[in-house]
Structure 1
Amino acid sequence: MKPKIGIASNHLIHPNPRFDTNYIDYVQIGYVDGLRQSGAQPFIFPLGAPEDAADYIDTVDGLLLTGGQGVTPILYGDEPIQQVEETDIYRDQFEIALVKAAIAAGKPILGICRGEQIINVALNGTLYQDIYVQAGVNGKHNQLPTSWEIPTQHVTTTTGSWLNTLLGDRFLVNTFHHQAIHELGDNLQAVAKSDDGIVEAIESTDKQIFAVQFHPEMMFEAHPEFLKIFQHLVDVINQK
């Protein structure tokens, strides 16, 4: 039987030309395809109330947290700075509850980009609201207008970590962010960094939580090795 993996959805919060004010919950197809091609059955979770998170987690074997808006700074004890851009506290609170419910149920979690950040905040860590202002970064961490599937920056992994085992010591990734992990959350360790010191991957001490700051769902069609990141979630579930 295929493992069931819940994907926490994003949702529109502004009118747009296609849907006007007919707001939708959605997930980019790359996340769905990454899980399917790794042998999993994806289930998309619509935005829900935090108190319902455990019921959602009960229906699946693992959790995938995706990219999107920045995390609301007040949730990790900061006041917002000018560069913070859009946040969505309703999504933040629901996903934090999903993380805590998955941990309580002993179910593995994969985070991607914002997903890495929300895991860190759920586990009492903090973020840089803007790495250029607060961390003094000079590198380009948003590669647009370069096409999203093209890797543009190097990361270096920690020997023996989950990402090192999958992809090696040093490799190129894509990048689309201006927030990043500052102080690590409880029982989390950094296992990959960019050349300018930004945390590019984490894992928990029990190896049940793992996340990346880059976007493998945008790369694996052109660079199949990045499918291993989705496959790792499936493998961890199958080993339980």
Structure 2
Amino acid sequence: MWLFNAFWGQAEFYFSIIIRLLEACLLGGIIGFEREHLHRPAGFRTHILVCVGSALVMITSEFIYKKFSPNVNVDPARLGAQVISGIGFLGAGTIIKEGINVKGLTTAASLWAVSCIGIAVGIGFYSGAFITTIIIFLTLVVIRKVQRRRSSQRDVRLCIHTLIKRGEARQLSSIIEEFGATVLDTEFVSSERDGEIILRYKIQMPNEVPLIELIEAVLCHNTVRRVYEE
């Protein structure tokens, strides 16, 4: 009877470990799938690895606590705290700066959140991990779609090389506005080439209007030499 109890106790312990790691794999994969779908730097596999690794850290903390707490003072949350602070190096690797734009912050935040989910699963806080996963997934998917629908226009910077005089630049602005775009700012830059003037337009145009059509319309003006997006 004693041998059976000992065997059952060990089997129950390992079964619990398997369930926790598999759940961490599932929950991390849910968030990672959404990131992978958008071709982000950290995708499906990365989120799974972070979540499962964090879960293992907390399982190890629990194991250390149960084994050594009768003899020494052990803090079961210590390893988990190192995960939360240490995941920053991986998140930083997903952040990319392109000019004044910064990309990857959402992916970095999702990695940090997934590590927290793994910690919750590893310690056995299943309900908190499931609820958090649902909230994160809805935040990434639903709110992104709402933001896209609300943002029906996009900002574009056009650079136009033209022979038109400064006082006649309104003609080009009128062509741009015919496409439903709004001219936000215009910058004049003198050029040394045959009296050429460079106009830098900052415009806001509807998403459904192809930029190439606007560029072709501007190029049709007899004074325009080149048009390109900056």
Structure 1 or 2, whichever has the larger Rg, is 2
TM-score by length of 1: 0.24
TM-score by length of 2: 0.25
**Which structure shows the bigger proportion of residues in helix conformation?**
2
